[in-house]
Chain A
Amino acid sequence: AQRVTQPEKLLSVFKGAPVELKCNYSYSGSPELFWYVQYSRQRLQLLLRHISRESIKGFTADLNKGETSFHLKKPFAQEEDSAMYYCALSGNYGQNFVFGPGTRLSVLP
């Protein structure tokens, strides 16, 4: 069964510090991995997907199939990055998304 874990419920960092949000997954095939972000009282929106290999708002994520991880990283956190971050997985042949429980990132001034 597909499963996504995000071990940290809350992550607090100071402005300008590096940030890494952890995501691990279990899936037997070749999944597609996503990061979604939800700012306070707003809709969830796509931050990035591994297949596009792009950097959005300074965030990057690399799919590590050996470690089954898709950690989200940013070298210098900004206060506006404070939000809820969800890692998600989509399986082969279009099986539905599975979302992780989410990590709340708090960037302190």
Chain B
Amino acid sequence: NAGVTQTPKFQVLKTGQSMTLQCAQDMNHNSMYWYRQDPGMGLRLIYYSASEGTTDKGEVPNGYNVSRLNKREFSLRLESAAPSQTSVYFCASSEWPGNTIYFGEGSWLTVV
């Protein structure tokens, strides 16, 4: 039982490049989330999916897109990376919105 797994763990991108962060959970959770963590800013919600087939914007969605591929998987895409998107990204899941959230190990992304 791995919980929430996300890939890649580390990535360096050039400005303007695109990439997708992959996330999967094996806890049969309905809700999944993408957060970014920046020094002094705490955790900020980018997008979430309350249940399979739905996605909604969080606090800082600009520059990102998401896909809830199925119940297990929720990917985050940066279409044209910018240095402001340098951050640590955490995928997370919960049984339903508002329940305890379980986090992945994080993906360290640097945009140069």
Whether A43 contacts B100 in the complex (CB less than 8 A), given A86-B43, A99-B42, comes out as: no
Q: Which residues of A contact B100 (CB under 8 A)?
A: 34, 46, 49
What's the Cα separation between A63 and B61 when bound, in Å? Answer: 32
What's the Cα separation between A34 and B94 when bound, in Å? Answer: 14
- The reply to whether B90 and A96 contact each other, CB–CB distance below 8 Å, is no
- The reply to whether B48 and A96 contact each other, CB–CB distance below 8 Å, is yes
Q: Which residues of A contact B103 (CB under 8 A)?
A: 43-45
B residues contacting A by CB (< 8 A) are 4, 33, 35, 40-45, 48, 50, 58, 90, 92, 96-106
Residues of A in contact, count (CB < 8 Å): 22
Q: A42 at interface (Cβ–Cβ under 8 A)?
A: yes
B95 to chain A, nearest CB (A): 10
Output the residue of A45, A97, A99 with the most chain B CB within 10 A.
A97
Q: A66 at interface (Cβ–Cβ under 8 A)?
A: no
CB-CB nearest 8 A-B residue pairs: A94-B98, A94-B97, A101-B42, A99-B43, A90-B98, A44-B103, A43-B103, A43-B105
